[in-house]
Amino acid sequence: MACGRAANRVSGGGIESMSRLNLRYIIIQNLKRKPYRTLALAVFVMMATGTLFAATLTLRAVQTSLQVGLERLGADVIVVPRGQQITAQEAFIVGQPTTFYMDQRVEQEIAALPGVGRVSAQVFAQTLTNASCCFGEFFLVGFDPRNDFTISPWLATHLAGRAIAPDEIVVGDRILLRPGETVYFYGSYFKVAGVLAPTGMGIDRTVFVPIEGMRQMIAASPTRAEKPLTIAPDQVSVVLVKAQPGANPNELAEQIERKNADLHALTASHMILAVSKQFANSLGVIVAVIAIWWLMALVAIALVFTLIVNERQREIGLLRAMGARQGFVFRLIVGEAAGLTGLGGAIGVIVGAILLVSFQGLLEQRLRIPFLFPTPFETIALIALLIGLALGSGAAAVLQPAFRISRLEPYEAIRQGE
Amino acid sequence: MKGFKIVGILVAVVGVLVALTPTVLLPVCQELVKTAMGAFVPMRCHYTAQAEIAVGGLLAFVGVLLFVYGDGAKINGVLNAIVFALGGVVTLIPTVLIGTCGAPDRACNVGAKPALILLGALTMLIGAGGVWQAWRAGAPPTASAAAA
């Protein structure tokens, strides 16, 4: 018995040992007394908290990534050839290389519509794998520096006012290239002018080439590359549209599709909906698992502490006889449960964080979702909230037995416990 | 030695997981890479997987030894020190000794590598805990304990 052992120390060790017989000391000794029971309950809570932490942080990471990525893209509407909307979404969301083309005249056609602020066309290409002409397997996007609004704001602040040269490229954060390095695609050499900040979206896995440089590379590819690039000079892949202030992007998208039935107009809300759909099934299972875990953990803690309280009636009666007040006994039981669930919760959050950081790439690939961790402040707030939830749940689960035992008179408690 | 059988089983299970991770659970890249001479050869992660099978097998064997002979403090301490060292090797193979593919999005980099690092760290923790426990069990009694 914890207090018994402490009492022995009191008789043998004097005042110093007696000062140890406080609430915290008794709670720690009680938890140490049954290490396997303590461990089993802590692991239960650990798994519930760890899963909840990982799922919540993943959800926030997807939202953060979509927010940052769509802001960087700068487009309110993305126009692609009809039938290519799914592959286009894959390209923008996870950087899956893709190639489809439409007539360049579409750009002027869209620019003439009411509500359209700016338009910018992009040309998609994919590098060859295992070809000696080319370096690696990349998603190449040709952009026009004269009217682009995705890369140009970045170029304006990072190239010290100078224009990007046709043989220069800007790469996403996940492309293993650093500024100043030279690479060659389809037999043409390009110098890396800069690396974009991470967004968690497809931009991170994309190589941006000025359209002039890309057209030169396409023209030279039949003689320099193992396989020529067959993109006509009047072809583009997508047209990015920025709406005028006050214009509704959804209405603008409908207007574009009405004007030309061969086009499909994607809006930012379309993209978010597409990601949410991809994520919804997995998220449903995760939420169900977490809910079951929490419920099971709380029921188990309530049951185990009801048994513990019954088992310790004599001990608690002796404590009361020694002068412990009702509040002390109540705090002892609640503190033991809160300590146990708080410890389990803290370990769960640490384990969840380690696993999430380690397998972030695997999660992105398997679920095909964009991923960017939220700010440290938000992450710390989430950690504090979950540990608080674990502590609170543990305390709430044992309120009834704690209240019952604390109201027993010392003599009654000792007699019932014998 | 208290709990030596549980530790032995745990080490053996981790050893099997180390061997299975890069081959079955989170397989490394299967493609071949073309050399300047035109020959196709396996990538670095393939050799990492082979090395991890060997180290995982050794770990499982040490786990069995711990389960059977781990009762004595001295042998338990020695076997746990080997577990600690093998845990270090499990971590070092994909990171320093052999490595994985260059591109961060490859299967070996998103799956097998982080899993092996975590398994290696876990093995080192188990080994360090075992050495500490064996040292405590084998240490001579303190003066106060002897007097009591």
Domain boundaries defined on chain B: 4-138
Answer whether residue A157 is part of any domain. yes
CB B76 within 8 A of CB B70: yes
d(CA A117, CA A80): 18
Note whether A382 and A304 are same-domain residues: yes
Note whether A94 and A201 are same-domain residues: yes
Note whether A216 and A363 are same-domain residues: no
Note whether A335 and A388 are same-domain residues: yes
CB A206 within 8 A of CB A90: no
pLDDT of residue B83: 97
Q: Measured between CB atoms, does B3 come within 8 Å of chain A? A: no
- Per the CB < 8 Å rule, is B111 touching A362? yes
pLDDT of residue B60: 97
Q: Per the structure, how many domains does chain A have?
A: 2
Note whether A203 and A282 are same-domain residues: no
Q: Measured between CB atoms, does B27 come within 8 Å of chain A? A: no
Q: What percent of chain B has pLDDT over 70?
A: 93
Residue closest to A70 by CA, chosen among A149, A138, A146: A149
The pLDDT tens digits of the residues spanning B5-62 come to: 999 999 999 999 999 999 999 999 887 777 767 777 888 899 999 999 999 999 999 9
Note whether A362 and A244 are same-domain residues: no
d(CA A169, CA A193): 6
A207 Cα to chain B: minimum distance (Å): 14
pLDDT of residue A21: 67
Answer whether residue A42 is part of any domain. yes
Q: Where is the domain boundary, A261, A294, A316?
A: A261
Look up the domain containing A40 and give its range.
31-66+278-417
What distance, in Å, lies between the first and last C-alpha atoms of chain B? 22
CB A25 within 8 A of CB A337: no
- Per the CB < 8 Å rule, is B105 touching A174? yes
Spell out the per-residue pLDDT of chain A, length 418, in tens.
Answer: 444 444 444 344 434 444 556 778 888 888 888 888 888 888 888 988 888 898 888 888 888 888 888 877 888 899 999 999 888 888 888 888 888 999 999 999 999 999 899 999 999 998 766 555 455 678 899 999 888 888 887 777 777 778 889 999 999 888 878 889 888 888 889 999 988 888 888 888 889 999 999 999 999 988 888 788 888 889 999 999 999 888 898 999 999 999 998 999 998 777 777 777 766 666 777 778 888 888 888 888 888 888 888 888 888 888 888 888 888 889 988 988 888 888 899 999 999 999 999 998 898 888 777 888 888 999 999 999 999 988 888 888 888 888 888 888 877 777 776 6
How many CB atoms sit inside 10 A of residue A103's CB? Answer: 13
A402 Cα to chain B: minimum distance (Å): 34
Q: Where is the domain boundary, A205, A236, A261?
A: A261
**Structure letter (DSSP) for residue A262:** T
Question: Which chain B residues have a beta carbon less than 8 Å from that of A364?
Answer: 110
- Per the CB < 8 Å rule, is A176 touching B115? no
Query: DSSP letter string over A278-317?
Result: HHHHHHHHHHHHHHHHHHHHHHHHHHHHHHHHHHTHHHHH
How many CB atoms sit inside 10 A of residue A410's CB? Answer: 16
pLDDT of residue A255: 93
CB B22 within 8 A of CB B56: no
Note whether A399 and A284 are same-domain residues: yes
- Per the CB < 8 Å rule, is B104 touching A354? no
Q: Which are the contacts of A122, defined by CB distance < 8 A and separation ≥ 6?
A: A141, A142, A143, A236, A237, A238, A239, A240
Mutate to test the interface with B, among A133, A135, A358 (most CBs of B within 10 A): A358
The alpha carbon dihedral of A209, A65, A71, A376 has a sign of negative
Note whether A155 and A282 are same-domain residues: no
Query: Poorest-confidence range of A18-22, A179-183, B93-97, B135-139?
Result: A18-22
- pLDDT, mean of residues B100-124: 92
pLDDT of residue A129: 64
Q: Measured between CB atoms, does B35 come within 8 Å of chain A? A: no
Note whether A46 and A138 are same-domain residues: no
pLDDT of residue A138: 81
Note whether A290 and A204 are same-domain residues: no
Note whether A102 and A215 are same-domain residues: yes
- Per the CB < 8 Å rule, is A130 touching B109? no
How many CB atoms sit inside 10 A of residue B106's CB? Answer: 20
Note whether A151 and A49 are same-domain residues: no
A221 Cα to chain B: minimum distance (Å): 21
Answer whether residue A145 is part of any domain. yes
Structure tokens belonging to residue A86: 């799914």
- Does residue B101 or residue B17 have the better pLDDT? B17
Mutate to test the interface with B, among A351, A360, A365 (most CBs of B within 10 A): A365
